Structure 1
Amino acid sequence: MLSEEHKNKLERIVHEYQFEHAMEYLIASVRQGIRLSKKEIETYTEIGPSRVGGDPDLPAMVEWPVDSEGTPMTFLAQLRLQDLVPHDVAKLLPAKGILYFFVGVDEPAYGIEHKVIYLSEEELLEAKRYRSPEVTALEEEFTGYRVSAKSTMEPPSYGYVDYEMVEDDDHDYEQYEELCFELNDGNSSDLAVMFGYPSTQHGDCEYEAALHLLTGKPYNYSADAALEQITDHFKGDSNRARQEVQDTLLLLAVDSDDDVGFCWWDAGELQFYIRKEDLLAGNFLNTYCSLYSS
Structure 2
Amino acid sequence: MIKPEQCERLTRKARKTLEEEYGLGAVADLVLNAGRWGIRLDVSTPDEYRRTGNSRVGGHPDLPDDLDWPLTKVGVPMTFLAQLNMVDLSPYTPNDGRGTLPERGMLYFFIGSVDAAYPIEHRVIYEPSTHNLVNRKPDGVTALGGEPTVAHAVTVLPNLEVPTFAYIDVAGLNEQGSASEITSNEEGTLAGSLFDRYRAFESDWNHPSPLNWGGMFGYPDGQHPDAEHQALSYIELGEVYGGSEQECVKKLTAHYDGDEERTWEELSDTLLLLKIDTHDAIGFQWLDCGELQFFIRSADLEDEQFDHTCCSIYSS
Given the two structures, how large is their TM-score scaled by the length of structure 2? 0.87
1:285 aligns with 2:314: no
Query: 1:165-204 maps to which residues of 2 (within 5 A)?
Result: 165-166=172-173, 168=178, 169-170=180-181, 171-181=193-203, 183-184=205-206, 186-204=208-226
Residues 53, 145 of structure 1: 8 Å contact kept:
yes
Partner of 1:111: 119
Give the Å deviation of 1:181. Answer: 4.7
Q: Deviation string for 1:153-175 (max 9, x for gaps)?
A: 11111111123433644443332
Q: Distance in 2 between matches of 1:215 and 1:241?
A: 12
What amino acid sits opposite 1:107 in the alignment?
D
Which of 42, 45, 49 is the matching residue for 1:40?
45
Give the Å deviation of 1:213. Answer: 0.9
Q: Distance in 2 between matches of 1:25 and 1:72?
A: 46
Partner of 2:19: 15
Partner of 2:150: 143
Q: Distance in 1 between matches of 2:102 and 2:34?
A: 25
Deviates more, 1:157-166 or 1:206-215: 157-166
Q: Distance in 2 between matches of 1:251 and 1:234?
A: 23
Residues 21, 165 of structure 1: 8 Å contact kept:
no
Q: Distance in 2 between matches of 1:269 and 1:116?
A: 17
Partner of 1:93: 101
Give the Å deviation of 1:183. Answer: 4.0
Query: 1:55-74 maps to which residues of 2 (within 5 A)?
Result: 55-74=60-79
| Secondary structure at 2:276 match in 1 | strand
Residues 106, 128 of structure 2: 8 Å contact kept:
yes
Q: Which structure 1 segments of 5+ residues have no match?
A: none
Partner of 1:248: 270
Q: Distance in 1 between matches of 2:313 and 2:94?
A: 26
Partner of 2:135: 129
Residues 24, 194 of structure 2: 8 Å contact kept:
no
Give the Å deviation of 1:185. Answer: 6.6
Give the Å deviation of 1:259. Answer: 1.2
Q: Distance in 1 between matches of 2:143 and 2:204?
A: 37
Partner of 1:215: 237
| Secondary structure at 1:291 match in 2 | strand
Give the Å deviation of 1:33. Answer: 1.7
Residues 152, 185 of structure 1: 8 Å contact kept:
no
What amino acid sits opposite 1:44 in the alignment?
Y
| Secondary structure at 1:224 match in 2 | helix
What amino acid sits opposite 1:250 in the alignment?
L
Residues 6, 153 of structure 1: 8 Å contact kept:
yes
Q: Distance in 2 between matches of 1:292 and 1:196?
A: 15
